[in-house]
Structure 1
């Protein structure tokens, strides 16, 4: 088969270079590394052969060790397995660095659409250029960084990866060799669970080293190419931040950690400014600017290294002095070095004194409990009828007075109630030091009714806020299939509530609604989750337009397709006329951050893709992007077929037991990757509704079965064919960007699956039939998605991404065999406590490498 130019480039730039650089590992001055590296190829081949022959993991590993006399004792075998895990972890890092360093050559994906394409279109079409400029006046992309644990590189390793990328771009072999030595000695795990502040510090690395420069660079390209007056364009690239603010199900987040993170973000930003300012001061040594530079020097230095407890927002003072310097340069010094001043002005306009908006998130049940508590303890002041809390939604809404009071809690109040009250009060302080943009959104998870929003609004008015100056946006989060179906009714109730209507009018008549993919996939399966969100967007858009509300959708997307990830920009490029798409907002986390935004090149590329998708989807609608009623009917019927199939799986009595027994689900709670517990209500027996979507998806991915990414899709497609709807489905795939992307992302999940690894389970007395049921649906889905896409192999239309996934899967296969071997050893053998502890630790370590390797296209 003849390779395309891009495939050849990928082969040469990534796969061949990886083989070459791998050999450097064997020359590192560490004896154990060399010994492990020598054995690893034999171990990998042994694993591959064993999997192809459907052998259980203990048979694969025992037969390997039986070839070597030095590995008779169990402790010697465990020691080598640990060393193999550590070695493979570093091979994953090496592959990451090589792939990222080659990004400019390979150009990411086959459907490159960035600012360059946008400029070409505008230059050839003056009318379109005018439309683009008008669109830019009220358009933005907001990337919200979350601490959800879907990638486990600690800060020092991220730094090494970044340095390796730069060294590999220029083939600096001596430096690469030194960095590989550093990598060999740098721990990959945290000794203790990170706190929310630790997570913020880790993610701040990306803010400081990537987003600070890229956001300014993109704004500069827009300004220069389209000649848009700076004052006419709002901030195009916005950043949001969840560590320290997201307390939903995380008892470790407190008002104090929120305060510390807000302070941290401000301090890091001023250090970025100070570094840039030193360049300005070194170059601008002319008369007339001294007093302005002195003011700026003091401002930047003090805020960087001597921050006070309650600072003010000093954005205005900074811009006033920078613009004064700019004016002097233009007026008296021929504009010499004015571009470096303009760059700093652009950054200050973008980030102010806050760097990134710190979102607050809490579950509606906690907010309801806080509301009830304050009423019960302040009945006379609130004059609220407690009986109506348990009555109809209409009565509850009518009872809320929106009165302004200063209430508080008693010392014995529940910790979550105390935190809710404290963080509401703290938000005023954060806004004072960083402007309203520093923290202006409160997200209500599990939002089920309009009163969830109205009660929170009342909580603010009971804790020092005034109606006329309530600079907070209340953001409902709809995530389960049922919540999504009710979302339109909830918003209609809010838009018709006179108090809420008055509030959003003061907020520019703008309403942000968050829609979550993760729990909806866990709740209803892949197809139903995506369709439920799409339908909800259509309904919510129609209602917002009816009430003349400027609607912003905020998508809670995880890394893999099972959590809403995949080729995200293609979703936004194909929303159609029925869905509001003026602003793009989405969460990015874990491997999404490192793979798509981990370097300057990849971050700029992916942000530009989103900008292009949002702008063009509005200006150049494709005919198939707005679905017809008959197309909607076809997808709806398939979604219900898929949902029924997925529910039958969920209701199977072996469902959770299978996951707990065969996957490392239990081990996720023992590894120090996140401040957030693996499941809600961690003190009781596991229930699916308590299990976090990340843990759910991660466990299936460790099994290499990826059930949340495809299960039910094959049955739905088969049903469509059997009911004479295949031509309609084919038409959808060919014309609807949304449906096409949905199927293509499903194929990505399946490409990352490998049922051969667990095929030994098909004859298991307890789980054999259950395994066969999963595999049958995989085979059915594979058959029909290949038929639909007219392909011979999965992801045939994305050969580079497919090659990358397959290369990574080969790297981590030894980790998967070791992991399953250790799980089965703990369950089936009598072991000493010391050996049990070793196997438990071994399972935890394998999880890191498998997750880190699964970054492809997030």
Structure 2
């Protein structure tokens, strides 16, 4: 066993170093044979009355580790934008003369695309003809599938589990990924995971999933890999798309809708929550979020992301890591049995629909429809400098859209820039207007909001998260960033932001009955008050650096100036405990 295990390690190292694996025929090909040998040893020990060795100690611990980690430690997910698939598939279908005469793939309707892709999946022949010269886009999209095939064959069959399609809009987006996997020779057991990100896509996710699960070729794929469908929900882009309150309610309704799909189709769903570290990107207390899901929406299976800075906060100290995992497991067990789940969806749904509409309009009127907003944002935050940071796996702007507008900016840097300027706008903007408008309609409405806060875990969690972001905002500092903006008339936007902040604070105190935002979170409130005087000098330094940078000749915007600017961003990120 030891020789076979060492040979498996040598084989993996050789494959990674040279791409060759010759001479390792006696190595374990996967964790399963190694696990079978360990269990055989365990069984033999029990047969010979060595239960102490078989049931406790090193051997059972090793078996559990192999079961959990295999030879790969943790499975990787791959992720690609649906737009990239569409471009690559379009070229590949054109090269194989599979398109209807006189049409490009982009011109086909969704129904035509699904029919065409279904035929290709049922056709055993390769899609690309021999000698086909791949374009850059085809190579960029297809090569990861070849890597998956080799890694699963040579390292561990479980090393890559999911292929996530960001910005999923239709069934064809998932079938395109299956066609690409088939072309690269990837087995049918790769999970194809739709990621719903915008508010419109969240609203239509249940309809799309019903159509997907009724598509014959996809049903075959699902049966071959165990019948479980994973669905990822995007918290960051939905918040950037419609604002904090609208995104939270859209996600809550999506959870309820997907629960109905699971019930109707009999296909079990595993929901993957793409939460960020900050409240504006779905962050906050994970156990509260689990327990505030709609009744019947939790099936006992869950995945969620832990962002980079959150990992160190939650897991670097073993006692805190143990407590965090304990809270999550507790919430999962309670939710799986229906305990603590929200049952107020129907009672208050119409109120939330009204709040969503008002808050979304307020948010989009500023962020998307105000012609001066983008100029204000790029001057009143360090977003231009954040784009230079060598962090994350994706660029700040989507391909071909650098500094072109809000639509091309990714959600993480969008939020990160507001945290740097101490505005934290993403975690509350639009909330105050929505609450105030509803309360003003009748005298009874304010009491309804208070009742929702008392009785509904979801609403209580949303307001609690907003309170934290409002408390973290430091508008005196934000004002120094806004003072840089030219022309000065654009400072009307800063005034609007401050008015909405005051409105949100006022309405939250009225609804919750508190005297200050952190009344029920004194430790957090004290931390914020203690931290602010220490953070403010960092902010002033950053503003001075931004002013100096703007007056530098382009050929001098490197070296020590760039390093100083990036260090100021890193310092504020550490102080605010957030990179977006």
TM-score computed with the length of structure 2 as normaliser: 0.89
Cα distance change on mapping 1:495 and 1:388 into 2, 3 Å? farther
What do the CA deviations read for 1:97-124 (whole angstroms, capped 9, x no partner)? xxxxxxxxxxxxxxxxxxxxxxxxxxxx
Partners of 2:402 and 2:408 within 8 A in 1: no
Q: How many residues align?
A: 559
Corresponding residue to 1:346 among 34, 45, 64: 64
Query: Secondary structure at the residue paired with 2:158?
Result: helix
Query: Are 2:549 and 1:841 equivalent residues in the alignment?
Result: no
Query: Are 2:559 and 1:852 equivalent residues in the alignment?
Result: no
Cα distance change on mapping 1:392 and 1:334 into 2, 3 Å? closer
Cα distance change on mapping 1:675 and 1:492 into 2, 3 Å? closer
Query: Secondary structure at the residue paired with 1:689?
Result: helix
Partners of 2:94 and 2:104 within 8 A in 1: no
What is the correspondence of 1:76-225 to structure 2 with a 5 Å cutoff?
A: none
Distance 1:520 1:339 in 2: 48
Query: Secondary structure at the residue paired with 1:555?
Result: strand
What is the correspondence of 1:603-618 to structure 2 with a 5 Å cutoff?
A: 603-618=321-336
Distance 1:609 1:837 in 2: 46
TM-score computed with the length of structure 1 as normaliser: 0.61
Distance 2:519 2:231 in 1: 36
Query: Are 2:542 and 1:819 equivalent residues in the alignment?
Result: yes
Partners of 2:8 and 2:29 within 8 A in 1: no
Distance 1:614 1:640 in 2: 31
Distance 2:365 2:51 in 1: 74
Partners of 1:322 and 1:345 within 8 A in 2: yes
What do the CA deviations read for 1:305-351 (whole angstroms, capped 9, x no partner)? 66674586431232233334445555365635941221111111111
Query: Secondary structure at the residue paired with 2:520?
Result: coil
Offset at 1:607? 2.1
Cα distance change on mapping 1:837 and 1:711 into 2, 3 Å? same
Query: Secondary structure at the residue paired with 1:448?
Result: coil
Query: Secondary structure at the residue paired with 2:240?
Result: helix
What is the correspondence of 1:526-605 to structure 2 with a 5 Å cutoff?
A: 526-605=244-323
Offset at 1:432? 2.1
Distance 1:695 1:418 in 2: 28
Offset at 1:665? 0.7
Corresponding residue to 2:475 among 743, 747, 755: 755
Distance 2:336 2:554 in 1: 64
- What residue is the counterpart of 1:500 in the other structure? 218
Corresponding residue to 1:687 among 389, 395, 405: 405
Query: Secondary structure at the residue paired with 1:540?
Result: helix
Cα distance change on mapping 1:716 and 1:413 into 2, 3 Å? same
Offset at 1:392? 2.6
What is the correspondence of 1:115-514 to structure 2 with a 5 Å cutoff?
A: 292=1, 294-295=2-3, 298-299=6-7, 302=10, 309-310=20-21, 313-327=29-43, 330=46, 331=48, 335-336=52-53, 338-379=56-97, 382=98, 387=103, 389=105, 390-400=107-117, 401=119, 402=121, 403-408=123-128, 413-465=134-186, 469-514=187-232
Offset at 1:831? 7.5
Offset at 1:820? 1.0
Partners of 2:80 and 2:165 within 8 A in 1: yes
Cα distance change on mapping 1:628 and 1:675 into 2, 3 Å? closer
Offset at 1:427? 2.0
Query: Secondary structure at the residue paired with 1:475?
Result: strand
What do the CA deviations read for 1:366-400 (whole angstroms, capped 9, x no partner)? 11111111111111xx4766738423322322233
Offset at 1:751? 1.8
RMSD: 2.7
Partners of 2:161 and 2:190 within 8 A in 1: yes
- What residue is the counterpart of 1:627 in the other structure? 344
Partners of 1:744 and 1:795 within 8 A in 2: no
Offset at 1:453? 1.0
Distance 2:241 2:440 in 1: 26
Query: Secondary structure at the residue paired with 1:359?
Result: strand
- What residue is the counterpart of 2:234 in the other structure? 516
Corresponding residue to 2:454 among 734, 737, 744: 734
Offset at 1:681? 2.6
Cα distance change on mapping 1:354 and 1:335 into 2, 3 Å? same
Offset at 1:700? 0.5
Query: Secondary structure at the residue paired with 2:52?
Result: coil
Offset at 1:460? 2.4
Distance 1:728 1:304 in 2: 62
Cα distance change on mapping 1:792 and 1:805 into 2, 3 Å? same
What do the CA deviations read for 1:186-231 (whole angstroms, capped 9, x no partner)? xxxxxxxxxxxxxxxxxxxxxxxxxxxxxxxxxxxxxxxxxxxxxx
Distance 2:147 2:88 in 1: 16
Point out where structure 2 has 5 or more consecutive residues left out of the alignment: 22-26
Offset at 1:735? 1.5
Offset at 1:669? 2.0
Answer with 1 or 2: which has the greater Rg: 1
- What residue is the counterpart of 1:195 in the other structure? none
Cα distance change on mapping 1:723 and 1:434 into 2, 3 Å? farther
- What residue is the counterpart of 1:43 in the other structure? none
Partners of 1:575 and 1:581 within 8 A in 2: no
Offset at 1:840? 3.7
Distance 1:683 1:770 in 2: 24
- What residue is the counterpart of 1:273 in the other structure? none
Q: Higher relative contact order by CA 8 Å / sep ≥ 6: 1 or 2?
A: 1
Partners of 2:152 and 2:160 within 8 A in 1: yes
Offset at 1:486? 1.8
Query: Secondary structure at the residue paired with 1:452?
Result: helix
Distance 1:857 1:848 in 2: 9
Offset at 1:548? 0.9
Query: Secondary structure at the residue paired with 2:232?
Result: strand
Distance 2:419 2:471 in 1: 11
Distance 2:280 2:458 in 1: 15
Partners of 1:352 and 1:434 within 8 A in 2: no
